[in-house]
Structure 1
Amino acid sequence: MSEELVRAAVAVREQAYAPYSRFHVGAALRDEHGQIHVGCNVENAAYPQGSCAEAGAISGMIMKGARHISEIVIAGGGDQPCTPCGGCRQRIREFASPDARVTMVNPSGEVLLVRTLGELLPDSFGPDHLGSKRDA
């Protein structure tokens, strides 16, 4: 995991729109070409219409033509690791292999927890089960 990825996740966390929970989250991922894509959580008064930071970063990656997550960093608030929600674990799985590293950091960029996607989402169902090569 690079410091550049941590800095990107921490920086984009500051752009989060979280007027209801006041819980800001930033995510930065590296694609198969080495490019970094970022996203932040965006809440909505009509729950559950908001979007997670990981979903924003993945959308940015897809928009740029990439199709694989090699690693991802999630920056949450406080001293507890901000692990991806269940939906985001599955979103990440769509574009990452189970051995992809998922790192959770605090607002200062201090690493709180490192897991593989397989540890966060064991026995997952992914594109490989449907014969997909993620190039669609």
Structure 2
Amino acid sequence: MTITDIDWPALKAAALEARQNAYVPYSDYRVGAALLAVYGTVICGCNVENATYGATCCAERTAVFSAVAAGHTSFRAIAVATAGPEAGTPCGICRQVLAEFSADGALEVLCFTPDGAEARFTLAELLPHAFRLK
């Protein structure tokens, strides 16, 4: 699968829909993620905050953990919907979690806002020296 094989409009729509489910009583900063497994399944996640901040989970990790729980461990792309004048990128923890399931760093990452801001990366660009199992 190449970048042109990815249905980015569908991934963006799924991320925007997931963003609506975010539980953000502390920051009011909603994030949604749509993760594309290598065989075409899309798994979504949203950020879930907690009063003990450390228990908060980002949308990207929620999507990855849900995917793994459903039996998916290899991914092609992720779309991340944030808000603001610029598209927000995954945090460092999320980048490392994504790297666990992107051995070559080729995972395509599209960050965007509902207002039209977009930024595209490969995971290797976002995390050039990821920790690796091997």
Give the match for residue 7 of structure 1.
13
CA RMSD of aligned residues (A): 1.2
Give the match for residue 22 of structure 2.
16
Counterparts of 1:93 and 1:28, CA distance in 2: 16
Report the AA paired with residue 112 of structure 2.
V
- Paired residues in the alignment total 127
Q: 2:119 aligns with which of 113, 118, 122?
A: 113
Q: 1:79 aligns with which of 65, 85, 108?
A: 85
Counterparts of 1:17 and 1:65, CA distance in 2: 25
The normalised TM-score by structure 2 is: 0.90
Give the match for residue 109 of structure 2.
102
Give the match for residue 133 of structure 1.
none
Counterparts of 2:16 and 2:55, CA distance in 1: 24
Shift of 1:111: 5.0
Contact 1:103 1:111 in 2 (8 A): no
The normalised TM-score by structure 1 is: 0.88
Give the match for residue 132 of structure 1.
none
Three-state SS of the structure 1 residue aligned to 2:124 is: helix
Shift of 1:82: 1.1
Query: What pairs up with 1:41-52 in 2 under 5 angstroms?
Result: 41-52=47-58
What does the per-residue CA deviation read over 1:43-68, in whole Å, with 9 as the maximum and x for residues that have no partner? 00112211000111011111111111
Runs of at least 4 residues off by over 6 Å: none
Report the AA paired with residue 52 of structure 1.
C
Over the matched positions of the two proteins, sequence identity in percent amounts to 39
Give the match for residue 57 of structure 1.
63
Shift of 1:78: 1.4
Counterparts of 1:88 and 1:35, CA distance in 2: 20
Unaligned runs of 5+ in 2: 1-5
Report the AA paired with residue 131 of structure 2.
F
Q: Does 1:69 align with 2:99?
A: no
Contact 1:99 1:118 in 2 (8 A): yes
